[in-house]
Amino acid sequence: MGELRAGALLTLVAVALAVVIAGLFRLVAVLDSAELALRRLAAELREARKAVAAAGELAVTVERDAARGQAALDRLAELKGPAPPGPDDRGAGPVSLPRRPGRSWPR
């Protein structure tokens, strides 16, 4: 009878160890998956930082170009000179005084 008990106890210990080993294998698989996910996340974070830096440079370029464009539009308005008389002008015809210098076309 003692041998039967020892055999049953050894079987029980072997099953418990098999369950623990299977759990450890599962844990290793989950940790590997988590490591892969973290590596992907780190790579995406590096790419996002590069994209933010590039966007900052682009914003500076856009601001500079916008200022140049506005200056060019202002210069163009000056070059156009005074606007021609419109239907709202109620002058005395050809003898009316010219418009004041610097007035631009209606926008």
pLDDT of 20 higher than 70? yes
Cα gap 71→57, rounded to integer Å: 21
Contact 84, 103 (CB under 8 A): no
pLDDT of 88 higher than 80? no
Cα gap 96→92, rounded to integer Å: 5
Residue 12 to residues 7, 22, 24, 25, Cα–Cα distance (Å): 9, 15, 18, 20
Q: What is the mean pLDDT of residues 27-56?
A: 96
pLDDT of 79 higher than 70? yes
Q: What is the mean pLDDT of residues 37-57?
A: 96
pLDDT of 59 higher than 90? yes
Q: What is the mean pLDDT of residues 81-103?
A: 62
pLDDT in the model for residue 91 = 56
Q: Exposed, middle or buried by CB within 10 Å (0-12, 13-18, 19+), for 99?
A: middle
